[in-house]
Each structure stands twice: as C-alpha cells, then as structure tokens.
Amino acid sequence: MNRNRECIAMLLAGGQGSRLGVLTQTIAKPAVPYGGKYRIIDFPLSNCVNSGIDTVGVLTQYQPLELADYLGNGQAWDLDRADGGVHILSPYQQIAGTSWYKNTANAIYQNIPFIERYNPAYVLILSGDHIYKMNYNKMLQFHKEKDAACTIAMLEVPWEEASRFGLMKTDESGQILEFEEKPAHPTTNTASMGVYIFSWEKLRAYLVADENNPASSNDFGHDLIPAMHAAGERLFGYQFDGYWKDVGTIDSLWEANLDLLNPNVNIQVQDSAWRIYYQNTAAPPAYIAPGAKTRDCLISEGCSVAGAVDYSVLFSGVTVEEGAQVDYSILMPGAVVKKGARVHTAIVAEDAVIGAGAVVGAASETMQEHLEDWGVAVVGKGVVVADGSTVLPKEMISSGEEH
C-alpha cells in the first residue's frame, strides 16, 4: 500500500488544561467529556476524517493513559487504517537523552521522522482544546491556491478576550500583514484558532532553525510563525465563520455544553452530513420515568431520569432520582443525583454522587444581590457529596476530599 499522503494531521493533545482544575486532575484536557456523548478530541478527529485526512499523529504528554485508552486503534473514527490512521506519539528516550516536549513547535520537531514516513506535501497542525466543525480540506485548497507557506485559520473573537489569542491583520487577499501572539493591548480582534496548514518543506526548515535557536521558546505562535513572518514567507489567514469555542476554563466548558441547547448558537451535533464520532458505550436507551420533567435538555442513552431536568446536558449512564432537580448543569457519565437533591449551575464529573437532599450550586436568580459570588460549582470525578450537604457556587471539590 502506498504510504505517501498529500496532507497529514498532527494533533497537539499534551496540554494539561490546568484551568479546568479538578476536571483535568487525572486526564488530559482533550479527554474531557463534552456534549453528552463526546470528548473534546472527538471534534478535531472527526473533522479530519470528514475532511478526508486519514493519518493523524496525536502528541500526548500530560496524563496520556485515559486518552490513549479512549483512542484505542482509532476504530471509532474510522482511523484504524492498514497504513496511516491514528498514532499516539509520546515523548521517548533517545540516545542523546530523554526529552519531554518542551513546547508546541518542539513537539512537532521531535516527530519529524514520523511525518517523513508519509512524505506529505502539507501538514495540518491542530490542538485538542476546541469545539468546532470545520472542513480542513477547504482550507487546504485555499492554502494551495494562495501558494502559501503557512495558512492560519482565523475568526473574530470578542475584544475583551482578544489578548488570550494570537492576533493578525490581513490584506484583502488574506495575506497576513501583522501577527502578534497574545498581545497585552490588542489592536485587532481577528484571532488564530490554533489550526495551521504548513507546506512541509517550509515547516521542516523552520522547525530545525527554531530548535537550533537557544533563545526560542519553541512555540508556534510565539516563535515559529513570527520567524516565518520576519523572513518574508507567504502567510495567509483563512476566515472561519462557524461555531468555535476554546473550552479551556470551567466557565467556557459549561457554556459550550449549554450552547448545544441554545437555538441561537450554530453548533449542530445532530448532523448526519458531518457526524462527530465517538467511542460508544453499550448502554440501553434512556428511561424517563412517570413524574419526570425533561425540558430543554440533552439526555443520552443509559440515563434514568425520575426527577426534573431543565436546560442541562446528561451524559451516558446518569441517574436523576425522583424529587431531584437539575438545571443549567452538566452531568458527566455515571453521575448520580439522589432523591430530593438540587443541582444548579454545576458541572458534576464522572461517577460523582450527589447525596439525597444535597444542594450543589445556586440558580443565578437567587443570588441577584451577590452576583459576584455566583458561578459554576464543580464536583470532581468520583466525589460523593454527603446527603443534605451543600456545595457553594464556584466551589470545586476534588476526589479524595471529604465533603
């Protein structure tokens, strides 16, 4: 079989996602559950497959076990290929010594031999931190039409968030005139999505140069792209106008889940033309008991609901007992809300148990006078919240803690 590929993808999945606190205590950020069925990494992986890219290197570093387990041989995404498919690329020991991935560009640098096995003309660099549906093939066509060295997917972000991103200014043809990584005082709100297509020959040369530069922090946005820009390479911005969300914080993860229920937000996961694939669990259909109230919510197979669920997302195997009330919340796989418990504005992680009569979080209406104290409450994986106890808004409880 011919191993040569026009374009392969390298997915940076090593991020710790420390701002997600207890949710990423034992798993890498790309493995965080999202949307009732998925994990974050399902989005870039499904985008690859739906775009016709069948070779994906997944670079892992932080807590790789669960992620590697989840990816398996890639079969869930149709990436179990005789040649190509999904490959987990962990840092490894070499004759010259052990080297962790120092940063994004260094992680790709260390995997140059992997990329060269496929002799690609183009390399797509992705991260495992974002929720979006995108046809990378269209972006690749754009890259080829422009004869670019590097194409960066970009979109408008709210001005107040702009300083968290790489920002760019382009001319009418899309050519990048200015590029600045996370500036303190943004002069534009056109941001990089962290999705890059490089012509491989160019990328290879700049990776080697970057590695040999002791002053470099070996980061794409901070070092490599500015170096290409300074050298006068053809860099283009590719406009994306769909839904895209960086789910790097508790608030953004909570919001991105509830976006699935918001009719004004354009992230359609019930889309047979652009399916998001995931590792399935063998659970029977959801059972909605007599007396249950299920309105404006997403409920997955394996759930059992006897209480009231409003504007929430229930992952597989969640139980909401009678008299319990759940609103504006995300209940991850296997979570249990016991009789009479109330969960408002919260993320309850996998297999956590909210004891009978316990109260987690608060509804925003009840806190109008102290709105600054209101926020998403988080109950970590496997935590048991005792009967009748309280978890305050914004509070975060991790496994191993008594509560």
Partner 1 sequence: MRANNVLGILYASSHENTVEALSGPRTMGSIPFGGRYRVVDFLLSAMVNAGISHVLMPTKSNYRSLMDHVGTGKPWDLTRKREGLILLPPFSSGDSKGVYTNRVEAAASILGFIRDADKEYVLLVDGNLVCNPDFGEMLAQHLRSGADITLAAVPGHAPALKNTLLIQTQDTDTLPRVTEIAVTGGDLDGLWAPHILLMRKDLLVSFIERAIDPTVMSFERDLLQENVERLDIRAWTLPNFVTAIDSVETYYNANLALLSTAKRALLFPADRPVYTKVRDEAPTLYGLNSHVQNSLVADGCTIRGEVHDSVIFRGVRIGRGAVVRGSVVMQDSVIGDNAVIENVILDKHVTVAPSSRLSGAARCPYFVPKNTDT
Hunting for tokens 């387990």 — which residue is that? Answer: 69
Task: Please report how close the Cβ of residue 252 comes to partner 1 at its closest, in angstroms.
Answer: 20
Give the integer Cα–Cα distance in Å for 389 and 347. Answer: 17
Hunting for tokens 């296997």 — which residue is that? Answer: 334
Task: Please report how close the Cβ of residue 317 comes to partner 1 at its closest, in angstroms.
Answer: 10
- Residue among 104, 275, 77 at smallest CA distance from 198: 104
When the beta carbons of 32 and 314 are compared against partner 1, the nearer one is: 314
Give the rounded distance of the alpha carbon of 157 from its chain centre: 17
Q: Label the pairing between strands 190-199 and 122-127.
A: antiparallel
Residues near partner 1 (CB under 8 A)? 35-37, 75-76, 261, 269-270, 275-278, 280, 282-292, 294-301, 304, 309, 313-315
162, two tokens: 């702009």
Contact 66, 28 (CB under 8 A): yes
Q: Count Cα neighbours of 302 within 13 Å in the Cβ-side half-sphere.
A: 18
When the beta carbons of 138 and 275 are compared against partner 1, the nearer one is: 275
Give the integer Cα–Cα distance in Å for 185 and 328. Answer: 34
| DSSP-assigned states of every residue in 28-46 | -GGGSEETTTEETTHHHHH
When the beta carbons of 114 and 274 are compared against partner 1, the nearer one is: 274
When the beta carbons of 148 and 349 are compared against partner 1, the nearer one is: 349
Give the integer Cα–Cα distance in Å for 248 and 382. Answer: 22
Side chain identity at residue 285, one-letter code = P
When the beta carbons of 205 and 261 are compared against partner 1, the nearer one is: 261
CA-atom Rg of the chain in angstroms: 22
When the beta carbons of 8 and 49 are compared against partner 1, the nearer one is: 49
Task: Please report how close the Cβ of residue 257 comes to partner 1 at its closest, in angstroms.
Answer: 11
